[in-house]
Copies of this chain bind each other. A is one copy, B any other.
Amino acid sequence: MTTNTVIALDAMGGDRAPGIVIAGAALARERYPNARFIFFGDEQQVKPLLDKYPVLQASSELRHTPDAISADLKPSLALRQGRNSSMRMALNAVAQGEAACVVSAGNTGALMAMAKFVLKTLPGIDRPAMASMVPTKIGESVMLDLGANVECDAENLVQFALMGSIFCRAVLGITEPTIGLLNIGTEELKGHDEIRTAATILRERPVPGSFYGYVEGSDIAKGTVDVIVTDGFSGNIALKTLEGTAQLMSYFMRQTLTSSFSAKLGYIFARGAMQKLKMRIDPRRYNGAMFLGLQGICVKSHGGTDHVGFANAVGVAHDLVAHNFNKDISEELARQYGVLGTVPALSETELPEAPKLTDGSL
């Protein structure tokens, strides 16, 4: 008998919420029969949608939340004003042990700020990072940070390397992941001081896996390393440039295959193969940015995704839970830093002053 995985969902987050959240959960429920959902959102809007999916409804619970975090609300304000929001209450469910993970397609900065406050960072981790899978020539790599931390010091980068590596081991089953630091040249002299210092640390005090050295922007698609480590500014630019270029190439391809009668005829014969390619490079497949380094699993779905993309983000969260990512990372942190990596009980203290946050978004 398998145990159920309870997933908290922010039903009000995302451009087309709550519709895509409910439909996405229904799809995820088909893929993961052991998944149970707690929806946090406006009952009047969510209930009629849930009624359409009896199987989902039977394995779900709906909790009414009076507020929702708007897409453009500042993280600091979201922290102060969003106590009764769907996003906050979904996070609370993880902190209180009711749910194993939370997925939201809402305001990225607000989600990161709240996740840090509600879930707390893991002992040994200074700053959580956003991580995502990226397609490569030979498979997939994980890249982090993608925008949570605009400025990073060397130690932050080393911690990102550690988290990325443990993710590869725990979730992807890569026993000896390779780690690269994103830089503008492979020579030792290049790049910012913090990157050079991080490289020195990674050589002297290795994290699990093996440190490859510097990688460049072109190495991402090549799949040169399993883990691409970078600050949130560069990571965000790299990820969005990658997405934009892939879309542009797909557009050029469509244009090409409709540009003449002969090309259209060719497309008819190649259609089956082209469909497979389309599925392979479907950006929805890579939806679901993981907030790593928190005492709880939190996944951010792209705000503009549809139900298929949202279901994939739910899958990312499910996999992190199923593979005990946070247990593995806690144990490794304890080994590396001698800190206790267990989750202390959440004390519902007064809200502190809004922490200094970088408003990174995906």
Is A65 an interface residue, CB under 8 A from the partner?
A: no
Chain B residues with CB below 8 A from A147, complex form: 184-185
A49 interface residue, CB < 8 Å from B?
no
Cβ-neighbour of A263 out of B151, B220, B269 (below 8 A): B269
Q: From residue A252, how far is it (CB to closest CB) to chain B in Å?
A: 6
**Complex interface: chain B residues within 8 A of A267 (CB):** 266, 270
In the complex, A212→B189 CA distance in Å?
A: 35
Q: Is residue A345 contacting chain B, with contact meaning CB distance below 8 A?
A: no
Count class of interface residues, chain A: 35 or more
Interface residue stretch chosen among A2-10, A157-165, A271-279, A336-344: A271-279
Residues of B within 8 A of A238 (CB): 217, 237-238, 241
Cβ of A150 to closest chain B Cβ, rounded Å: 6
- Nearest-neighbour CB distance to chain B for A266, whole angstroms, equals 3
A347 at the interface (CB under 8 A from B): no
- Which of A151, A217, A276 has the most chain B CB within a 10 Å cutoff? A217
Instruction: Assess whether A191 is interfacial by the CB under 8 Å rule.
Output: yes
Cα(A267)–Cα(B263), bound, Å: 8
Q: Does A174 contact B (CB under 8 A)?
A: no
A171 within 8 A of B: no
| A262, B253: Cβ atoms closer than 8 Å | no
A360 touching B190 in the complex, CB below 8 Å, given contacts A217-B238, A221-B245, A237-B182: yes
Closest to A230 in B: B237
Q: Using a CB–CB distance below 8 Å, which chain A residues touch chain B?
A: 72, 74, 135-137, 147, 150-151, 182, 184-185, 187, 189-192, 216-222, 230, 232-234, 236-253, 255-257, 259-260, 262-263, 265-274, 276-277, 280-281, 359-361
The 5 lowest CB-CB distance pairs between A and B, nearest first, are A266-B270, A217-B240, A266-B269, A218-B244, A221-B244
